[in-house]
Amino acid sequence: MKELIRALTILSLYMKDDYHRDFPTHCEHDVLYVCGVDLEKMDASIVRELVELGFNPGSDNDTDYYWDNFTQEDWEIRRKDLTDCFYSYKYGSC
């Protein structure tokens, strides 16, 4: 529970707009999504922390990239092709 709260707290700092601050999540097919995240404002260290907490950047359909070892340069290149979400299989059961 603490990891989920920590991840959502971090993500709340990077929401794009009021709509997504008010309605940030949805769950679909056992995947929890937090949408409306401004990926441009995040750096690789924040993304690595979120990955450790169980949230991957983008949508589960965006990529099959392994996020465990990536650099700031990798993040700056890859984030441009991602949906503005983070998703979790760990917390996704409806």
4 burial level (CB within 10 Å; 0-12, 13-18, 19+): middle
Cβ proximity of 16 and 37 under 8 Å = yes
pTM of the model: 0.90
pLDDT at position 94, please?
A: 58
pLDDT at 84 over 70: yes
**What pLDDT is recorded for position 72?**
95
Is 93 contained in some domain?
A: no
65 has pLDDT over 80: no
| Average pLDDT over all residues of the chain | 91
Residue 52: how many other CB atoms lie within 10 Å: 13
Which domain range does residue 21 map to? 2-88
The pLDDT tens digits for 2-34 are 999 999 999 999 999 999 999 999 998 889 999
Calculate mean pLDDT across residues 64-70: 77
Structurally, the chain folds into a number of domains equal to 1
Q: Please give the pLDDT value at position 9.
A: 97
